[in-house]
Structure formats: structure tokens, C-alpha cells
Amino acid sequence: KYNGKLLGGLLADGFDEAACTSRYSSFLYRKISFHKPSSYLISRLRSYEDLHKRCGPNTQSYNKALEQLKSGNKIGLTDCNYIVWISFSGLGNRILSLASTFLYALLTNRVLLVDQGKDMADLFCEPFPDKSWLLPRDFPLIDQFDSFNRNSLHCHGNMLKNNVINSSAMSKPSYLYLHLVHDYGDHDKLFFCDGEQSFLENVPWLIMKTDNYYVPSLFLIPSFETELGSLFPEKGTVFHHLGRYLYHPSNHVWGLITRYYRTYLAKADERIGIQIRTFDSRHGPFKHVMDQILACTLKEKLLPSVDMQDSVVNPSENAKLKAVLVTSLLSGYSEDLRNMYWERPTMTGEVVGVYQPSHEEFQQTEKQMHNRKAWAEMYLLSLTDVLVTSAWSTFGYVAQGLGGLRPWILYKTENDTAPDPPCRRAMSMEPCFHAPPFYDCKAKKGIDTGALVPHVRHCEDISWGLKVVDDHDDL
């Protein structure tokens, strides 16, 4: 029998419910996922939890490893190896990069520790039992996190470039900084080669900064292939499962989510999410974007068209009520849409309500309420039945992944005109890796990494990006 509360076994039992209401009640707001976690994934998560309990902050093993780090060189084997994820970039990016890093930790038997930055603790519950995933604030290198970059002394790629280390070296540093930010260089990208992976194996502390969902390239590392196949027999579900496993909104954020849902969305017969994000330096709203949204939603029949004749179509008593949840930095798009469905009847007799939780006008990071709301909105989008997202946006990827939704993606506009077609259905619900390497580690030359295996393809929204798809996905 399917255990809804534990998401089919994905979640461990026994957490304190009051400390994190969302963990065991999210299932009340979602349809049961079509995608069951494999029993192997479940068992690996349970054993990760054991590892984390044994090695987490302030355990004996942690203290021992910390000693090594402080002494600066590696003396013998450590009980536990760690990967520290540095809080970096927008919230959507963080959620995706952290999930990638958790998968990497699973694959390499490392303990994941999370730099809490300004607000990680305010946004998310602890995902692992007993021991925190937050890096203690007295961690030795913590003050250097901000300044770590591709040229840092301990940067893995930089060291390779300068021949300070090479993969066959016998002595290993006690820590390395891994720079997987979009501006990373060719030597940083060697991270995705088996050779470097085996070199990294015995480095007790890896400190990673990234703004990417780099899972697709993990699928291209031969030594991870079998394990990934067992963890995810259905390949296009990596973020879906790991995201639901890791990200439980804090009680504050859960309040935002549940109040909004119950107030505006719960009573609708169908919920449509539209995530509008234009990467345009001008302020907007833009007519061509509104045109595109309408062209997509009407053409794909996600929303009913309106009667421009304004004939008297009276909503029938049992006409469907559709709720459109719009997220956008601006209020203009949702206002236009709301007015359209107010001013004219639909051809189907349905009534359509349009809702937008916030319009912050400008992107702001590191403001507490701002990020709470951004997270609540991604989550609310994930509770919809039908999702439309904007190309390039990790905000949308998070929603589609958590929701288990294959969205319609609005193509990026060029030259202020609505693209034609305006949107397309995503091949899978997986996020796109925006800055993948194009390197054949064996042949040591460039290669199209989107053409190597059937389950790693170029993204719908970014031609050079990579994403994981199911073998049977509708391509």
C-alpha cells in the first residue's frame, strides 16, 4: 500500500511534526505522484541518513575531519568525507544546485553540509533526522566562501591549470574548492571526468560553489552510470524525487503556501500555473510577452478563449471554475489576463479567476520576506494541474520538478516579438543544466554531450543546455 504521508517511502518517519508542518502534510495538497521512488533510492536515502547521523555537525567524526582541515594536510584516512555547498545565486538556482550536490554526495558517499547564507534555515526544514544539514557557523573557511572564485588558490580547476596537482598525485590536500559556477573554465569542467572523480575521492573536504543543476553531466560520468541507473530507473525523475525529499518549506513559508492555496486555489476545478520571467533589462510589462502568453495558452487549449463579440453567454450553474496562478515580478500580465476574463465571457462558459501572490517589481535577493515569498510561489506553482513556465528560468524548473509536471515552456522572445510557435511542451520535468561541458574526457577533445546517450539531451529552452529525459519521453 502507498504511504501518502511519507510520499511512498521517500521520507523517513519519526520527525517532530510541529517543527516542520509541511513535511508530513504536503501530501494533502498534491495529487499522488505518478512517479514512485525506486526501492533502491529509498534504501540509499535511509543509509545516507545513517551516514549523516554518524558524521553530521559536532559528531566525533566531524570534529576529527575538522582537525584535519585545520591542520591543513591530510593525515591518513578520515571516517567521513564532506561536501560543503556554498549558498550562492538566486533561490531557484540554489534549490537546483543543492539538489545536484546532494546527488553527488549520494554517489560519492559524502556528507552534505549546507552553508546557510542569509536565509536557508528560514526557508527550509531540516531534511535529515537527528543531525542538522547546516554547516556550523564557526566552520573555519566560512569567511572565505564569498571570495572563492575560479582563480582561488584552492580551486580545483585552477590547481589543475597551474599543475599544482594532477590526478595521479599521491599526496592529497585536506580540502579543495570546486568552482562550478556558470563562468567556470575548462579545467574546472574536468570535474565531470572519471579521472578527476577518482582523484577527489580521498579529499576529505570539498567545498563547492555552483549555480547550476549539473545532474545531467553526472549521468555522463561512466563510473556513476550503474548507480544512477539503479537509483532512477525512471531517469527523468531525479529532481522530482530529490526535491521532494530535501525541500520542506519552513513553517513560516508553509503558512504562506497553505493560506494562499486555501484562500484562492482550493475551490477551483482546475489550477493553471503561469510563471512569467523575462530576462530583459527594461522594466516591462511588454506587449509581445502578453501576446506570447495568450498565444500559447489559447493555442494549446490550456485556457479557454473569450468571446470577442461579447455576446451574452451566461455562466451556467455547473460551469467549471479555473484558477490561474500567475507568478511574475510585475503585476501587468496578470492584470491583463484577469481583465480579459472579467470583461468577456469564455467560449466554453467556464469562469476563470486570475491570482498573483506578489509583484516585487525588481529581483531582490537576500531579503527575508522576499525569498520566503519566492519559495512559496515556486511551491504554489508546483501545486497546479497544468504549468506554463518561462524559458531559462530556474524558478520554473523548481516548480515543474516538485510538481511532477511537464510544463509548456514559453520560448525566449527575440527582437520584441512573440516567437512562433510561442511555446512547446517540455520533454521531461527535469531542470536544464545551463552550462554543461562539451568535452570527451577519454578522447580529450570537444564533443556534443547532448548526443551521447538517449537520456541526456539538449534542452527545449536553451540549445546548448543539457537535461535528463526518460527513454520513453515524448521528444
Ligand X SMILES: Nc1nc2c(ncn2[C@@H]2O[C@H](COP(=O)(O)OP(=O)(O)O)[C@@H](O)[C@H]2O)c(=O)[nH]1
Binding site for ligand X (CB under 6 A): 89-93, 277, 327-329, 358, 360, 363, 365, 370-371, 373-374, 377, 393-395
Of residues 368-407, which lie at the interface with a second copy (CB under 8 A)?
369
Q: Identify the CA nearest to 24 among candidates 287, 195, 244.
A: 244
- Considering only 168, 312, 414, 463, the residue that binds a second copy (CB under 8 A) is 312
What residues have CB less than 8 Å from 434, skipping those under 6 apart?
182, 212, 213, 392, 462, 465
Q: How many residues lie near a second copy (CB under 8 A)?
A: 33
Q: Taking CB under 8 A as the rule, does residue 329 contact a second copy? A: no
User: Which is closer to a second copy, CB of 117 or CB of 345?
Assistant: 345
- Return the C-alpha cell found at 427: 520533454
- Considering only 4, 6, 12, 21, the residue that binds a second copy (CB under 8 A) is 21
What does 367 interact with, of ligand X, a second copy, none (CB < 5 to 8 A by kind)? Answer: none
- Considering only 315, 421, 446, 454, the residue that binds a second copy (CB under 8 A) is 315
Q: Taking CB under 8 A as the rule, does residue 310 contact a second copy? A: yes
Q: Identify the CA nearest to 304 among candidates 278, 277, 340.
A: 340
- Considering only 342, 361, 474, 475, the residue that binds a second copy (CB under 8 A) is 342
How far is CA 200 from each of CA 78, 84, 113, rounded to the nearest angstrom? 14, 14, 17
What does 91 interact with, of ligand X, a second copy, none (CB < 5 to 8 A by kind)? Answer: ligand X
What does 327 interact with, of a second copy, ligand X, none (CB < 5 to 8 A by kind)? Answer: ligand X
User: Which is closer to a second copy, CB of 5 or CB of 472?
Assistant: 5
CA pair distance 354, 264, nearest whole angstrom = 9
Helix (H, G, I), strand (E, B) or coil at 73: strand
- Per DSSP bridges, beta strands 445-446 and 439-440 are antiparallel
- Considering only 221, 321, 452, 453, the residue that binds a second copy (CB under 8 A) is 321
CA pair distance 384, 357, nearest whole angstrom = 14
Of residues 256-295, which lie at the interface with a second copy (CB under 8 A)?
256, 258-260, 262-264, 267
CA pair distance 270, 268, nearest whole angstrom = 5
The string over 26-42, giving b where at least 16 C-beta atoms fall within 10 Å of a residue's C-beta and e elsewhere, is: bbebeeebebbbbeebb
What backbone phi and psi angles, to 5 degrees, belong to 58? 70, 10
Residue showing the smallest CB distance to ligand X in the complex: 90
Residues that bind a second copy (CB under 8 A): 18, 21, 251-252, 254-256, 258-260, 262-264, 267, 310, 312-315, 319, 321, 339, 341-345, 351-353, 357-358, 369
